Structure formats: C-alpha cells, structure tokens
Amino acid sequence: MEKGREITPFGWEVKRRLTELKLDQKGFCKIHNIPEARLSELITGKRPVRRYRSIVEKELGIGKYDEKQKRKVTV
C-alpha cells in the first residue's frame, strides 16, 4: 500500500487553526467555497493552489509560509 503524502508545516498550521475554530476541513471548504481536494492539496503540498492559499491564510489568520524552505516567513 502506498503511504499518503506528508503534511507540510503550512498544512499543520491550517489543521491547528481549524481545530481551534472547531471546524473540520469539509465544513471550512463549504463555508468559504473551496473545493475539498484543493484544500487537501494545499495541506500536503501536492500543488501550490495559490488562488485558494490566500483565502485560507486570510480566513484562518495564519502567516505566509515559504514552502521551499519549509519555514514561516515573518513580514
């Protein structure tokens, strides 16, 4: 069996904030009109999905991440 993709640091931050807000991924996607597959790809880093990343960052109040360096970028 194939193991799923690892979660990126940004993905962990998304999951942490969703937990704090008592939301699951499906509910968050429905509220903000984001396809569930796109949020999943954003969490695992499969695709950059920039269109939805900015929405997720804004709505969850999380900072921008540099995925190549795997660290949080301070602004």
Q: What is the pLDDT of residues 21-51, one digit of tens each?
A: 999 999 999 999 999 999 999 999 998 888 8
Burial class of 6 by CB neighbour count within 10 A (0 to 12, 13 to 18, 19+): exposed
Q: What is the helix (H) or strand (E) element at residue 71, kind and residue range?
A: strand 71-72
Q: What is the CATH number of domain 9-72?
A: 1.10.260
Predicted local confidence at residue 71, as pLDDT: 53
Evaluate the CA torsion angle 7, 8, 12, 17 in order and state its sign: negative
Q: Of 41, 51, 47, nearest to 14 (Cα)?
A: 41
pLDDT of 66 strictly over 60: no
